[in-house]
Amino acid sequence: MKKAELIEAVAAQAGLTKADANRAVDATFTTITKALAEGDKVPLVGFGTFSVSRRKARDGRNPQTGEVVKIAARNAVSFKAGSQLKETVNK
């Protein structure tokens, strides 16, 4: 599902105009992004939890040359699906 399709579905489900649904979807994504940037978890009960974890620096290999490459430490976003989402998808 693309963002435009998501906006149409939200508009239909909530009885909103597409413009209002677009603003709601954008506001949701912005709010989740800001919370993650601040290091907060974003639990959405029944849907899942967005969180940030720290990945350590490590050595990797270039698959073409076999050369060792340094991979810098970084933050990674993760998502763990909630029980209701898992049940719905696995029906």
Give pTM, 2 decimals: 0.79
pLDDT digits (tens, 9 = 90+) for 33-75: 999 999 999 999 999 999 999 999 999 999 999 999 999 999 9
DSSP string, 35-53: HHHTT--EEETTTEEEEEE
Copy the structure tokens of residue 60. 């990797």
Q: 39: buried, middle or exposed (CB in 10 Å: 19+, 13-18, 0-12)?
A: exposed
